[in-house]
Chains A and B, each alone.
Chain A
Amino acid sequence: MEASQEFALVGIKNEAATEKINKPTLTFWQSVWHRLKKNKLAVVSLYFLVAVAVFAIGSTAVVSQSDANQFNTNAGAKYKSLPPKSGLPIPYWDGTGTVLGSADKVDVYEKNGVTQNFLLGTDNLGRSLGKRVTVGLRISLFVALAATAIDLVFGVSYGLISGWFGGWVDTLMQRIIEVISAIPTLVVVTLLAMLFGSGIGSIILAIALTNWVAMARQVRNQTLTLKERDFVLAAKTLGGSGPKIAIKHLVPNMAGTIIVQVMMTIPSAIMFEAVLSAINLGVKAPTASLGTLIADAQQMLQYYPYQILIPATILVLVSLAFILLGDGLRDAFDPKMLDE
């Protein structure tokens, strides 16, 4: 009885199961996030950058640029170049340092009669380095983000136009890029900064006009590949107009490339701001940026290294986070990584 039932011809029992797709369906961005989450460094970088952004914006309520610029001309000597002091007995963070003319380590705060603790010390005009770095970070990020935003618009448009139209337009536009790349970026940014004069706006413009080439190249290459794809041909056959197809179908498909490129452009812009400051073409004193803080403290490196190491460390950490996040995103956008 039982055996005969076991051997009954039943055929396909659960038809739906055979056609079932075994992976849960995720939207494009969900699956990117899913893959990005596996890269711990990228996730840590993302959280770090969010924290930096919150700090940079949130601190506007507490520290303004003019706060950070003010110094007491009369008590300058008293507050001048105080080392970082945490108020806790932590080595190298207890306000001790050498005073000019003697090799002994003393608590400089005690010696100068300063009651206030400067967590990051003070600069050579007696201004709180903590405040200077806070506003400096804000300016540097603003310059970098603004320059990158211009790059984004300009580079993407340039790449799209060059790749989409092809032919002589492409050839001409690529020749222009070749000429620009023949000059080292430092020289380009220097010449542009000299041309535009000082001021944050001109610095942003000088950096933006130097940095867009990489974006334009990436977008052009993507455009060349994508425009041969079936979905673009389909859109063309359906009578869509060129620019419309380019914006509606191409740009979303290269979102990954563009985002990764942005992640690489921002640290480069941060660096160029610092470079411009180092050759005296940066933001004008007393405005602080990470670059000017580094440049200003360079003469005092031997005696007050913290004045340079603090802004330099912040600059490197922010750049590092952008690059690590960019790396993580590049992998997350890569469909080849899907099953790993």
Chain B
Amino acid sequence: MARYILKRVLILVITLWIVVTATFFLMQILPGTPYNNPKLTASAIEQLNATYGLDKPVLVQYWDYLINLLHGDMGTSFQYQNQSVSMLIGQRLPISAQLGVQALIVGVLFGLWFGAISARHQNQKLDGFLGVVSTLGISTPSFILAIVLLFVFGYQLNWLPVSGWGDSFSQTILPTIALAVGPAAITTRFVRSEMIDVLHSDYIQLARAKGIGEAQVIQKHAYRNSMIPILTLIGPMTANLLTGSTLVENIFSIPGIGQQFVSSIPTKDYPVIMGTTIIYALMLMVMILITDILTAIVDPRVRLN
């Protein structure tokens, strides 16, 4: 186990290095400059370049960036002067993480529940209904859902706050729902098909032949076997969640890294864009690693090698 984790962490570090390298050189060839202020004189730009180290050869800049990154330093933001990217991200990451984790938990729990109901009522009305609803959930991008929720529950009904973060828990409800519907829909569909496969398997037939009762068959044999594969979904769902949260944070004015990423695009704040990209990649890979380890723990068939 320890060897497996070590190997995976090594692969993760290498992948991250490739991501850093690719993003770094991509930033070099991106058009435009971060200096949008027309009042800046040529000498001022030169001075700024010197402060940011942009006057050095590209390879030196790359090397510096790597070394600094190892110390947790991702450079200085162009947009917010004198603010380090690490600090900017560090302040905002917990907010995004809370939102993401809330959405993932809510989404997966509802997905497990609906998926199991659907599978056990296969081809009945309830199954059909949940099928259409979950497909609708998949077809609706989270930012559109966020807009609809904002309009209905925020503006029309006035039930919940429409923006901000950190003042009350109620502020987190609408963005969490907006982000949770996607994972819930994906999980519902996945659990349904997994569970239908399991319910038709030989070992469920054998469990039924034991006479332990349908409830026991479902609880002891069907659930466990159909839930394990869900873990493999968490990785891709996290990826979707990161995409969704970027826009949803923007819509609900939540000061997370997603909002920061969006606002750094028009200002061409390359250090922030790079830093966010690296953090996103790191989060996604760590999430996948965790789920793989979890799968290995709960599924006796998975051999780690």
A–B proximity contact (CB within 8 A)? yes
> What is the interface of chain A, defined by CB distance below 8 A to chain B?
41, 178-179, 181-187, 190-191, 194-195, 197, 267, 271, 274-275, 278-281, 294, 298, 301-302, 305, 308-309, 312, 315-316, 319-320, 322-324, 327
User: Which of A182, A267, A322, A327 touches B285 (beta carbons < 8 Å)?
Assistant: A182
- Is A312 within 8 A of B147, CB to CB? yes
**CB of A95 to closest CB in B, whole Å:** 20
Interface pair B30/A186, CB less than 8 Å apart: no
Could you say which interface size class chain B belongs to? 35 or more
| B251 near A195: Cβ-Cβ < 8 Å | no
Q: Is B83 an interface residue (CB 8 A)?
A: no
A-contact 0/1 string along B127-157, CB 8 Å cutoff: 0000010011011110110011011000100
- Chain B residues with CB under 8 Å of chain A are 15-16, 18-19, 22-23, 26, 29-31, 132, 135-136, 138-141, 143-144, 147-148, 150-151, 155, 239, 242-243, 246-247, 250-251, 261-262, 265-266, 273, 276-277, 280-281, 284-285
**Which one of B29, B135, B281 lies within 8 Å of A320 (CB-CB)?**
B135
Please measure, in the bound complex, the distance between the C-alpha atom of A19 and the C-alpha atom of B224, giving whole angstroms: 46
Take A182-B19, A301-B155 as given contacts and tell me if A275 and B247 are in contact as well, using a CB distance cutoff of 8 Å: yes
Nearest-CB residue, chain A, relative to B274: A191
The docked-state distance in angstroms from the alpha carbon of A233 to that of B196 is: 34
**Closest approach, in angstroms, between the C-beta of A263 and any C-beta of chain B?**
12
Nearest chain-B residue to A275 (Cβ)? B247
Shortest Cβ distance from residue A88 to the other chain B in the assembled complex, whole angstroms: 24
B58 CB to nearest chain A CB (Å): 16
Per CB-CB distance, the 8 closest pairs between chain A and chain B, nearest first, are: A186-B243, A319-B139, A320-B139, A184-B242, A271-B141, A312-B144, A182-B281, A302-B155
CA distance A184 to B148 in the complex (A): 25
| A191 surroundings in chain B (CB, below 8 A) | 23, 26, 273, 277
Give the A-B contact count at a CB cut-off of 8 A.
106
In the bound complex, how far is the Cα of B243 from the Cα of A278, in angstroms?
Answer: 12
| A252 CB, nearest partner CB in chain B, Å | 26
Give chain B residues whose Cβ lies under 8 Å from the Cβ of A315.
Answer: 141, 144
- Whether the Cβ atoms of A280 and B29 lie closer than 8 Å is no
Docked CA distance A42–B255 (Å): 41
- In the complex the two chains form, is B138's CB within 8 Å of A323's CB? yes
- Chain B residues with Cβ below 8 Å from A185 are 239, 243
| Chain A to chain B contacts (Cβ below 8 Å), 20 pairs | A41-B132, A178-B15, A182-B285, A184-B239, A184-B243, A184-B280, A184-B281, A186-B246, A187-B280, A191-B26, A194-B30, A195-B29, A195-B30, A274-B144, A279-B246, A280-B265, A312-B148, A315-B141, A315-B144, A322-B139
A184-B239, A187-B276, A280-B266 known; A323 and B284 CB under 8 Å? Answer: no
Task: Contact check, A267 vs B139: say whether CB atoms are below 8 A apart.
Answer: yes
Q: Are B242 and A186 closer than 8 Å at their CB atoms?
A: yes
Task: Return B264 CB to nearest CB of chain A, in Å.
Answer: 10
Residue contact B141 to A275, C-beta cutoff 8 Å: yes
Closest to A322 in B: B139
With contacts A302-B155, A323-B138 taken as known, whether A308 is within 8 angstroms of B277 at the C-beta atoms is: no
Residues on A with C-beta less than 8 A from B16 are 182
Nearest CB in chain B: distance from A275 CB, A: 6
Given contacts A183-B277, A301-B147, A301-B155, contact A279 B138 (CB under 8 A): no
Q: Is the CB of B19 within 8 A of A179?
A: yes
CA distance A281 to B266 in the complex (A): 9
Q: Is the CB of B284 within 8 A of A182?
A: yes
The answer to whether A195 touches B26, judged by C-beta atoms less than 8 angstroms apart, is yes
Complex partner residue of A298 from B23, B138, B147, B285, CB under 8 angstroms: B147
Structural contact, A275 and B243, CB atoms closer than 8 A = yes
Smallest CB–CB gap between A294 and chain B, Å? Answer: 7
Q: Which of A41, A187, A197 lies at the interface centre, i.e. has the most chain B CB atoms within 10 A of its CB?
A: A187
- B262: nearest chain-A partner, CB-CB: A279
Evaluate contact between B147 and A294: CB separation under 8 angstroms. yes
- Do residues A320 and B136 form an inter-chain contact, with CB atoms below 8 A? yes
Min CB gap B194→A, angstroms: 15
Q: How far is the CB of B201 from chain A (nearest CB, A)?
A: 14
Q: Report the bound CA distance from A267 to B144 in whole Å.
A: 14
B150 to chain A, nearest CB (A): 7
Min distance, Cβ B246 to any Cβ of chain A, angstroms: 6
Q: Which residues of B contact A183 (CB under 8 A)?
A: 19, 277, 280-281, 284
Of listed B140, B141, B247, residue having the most chain A CB within 10 A: B141
Q: A316 near B18 (CB under 8 angstroms)?
A: no
B259 to chain A, nearest CB (A): 11
For residue A272, give the distance in angstroms from its CB to the closest CB of chain B: 9
Q: Which residues of A contact B135 (CB under 8 A)?
A: 320, 323-324, 327
| A181 → chain B closest CB, angstroms | 7
How far, in angstroms, from A279 to B103 measured CA to CA in the complex? 22
Are B251 and A298 in contact, with the CB atoms below 8 A? yes
Q: How many angstroms between the C-alpha atoms of A191 and B278 in the bound complex?
A: 13
What residue in chain B is nearest A178 (Cβ atoms)? Answer: B15
CB distance from B89 to the nearest CB of A (A): 14
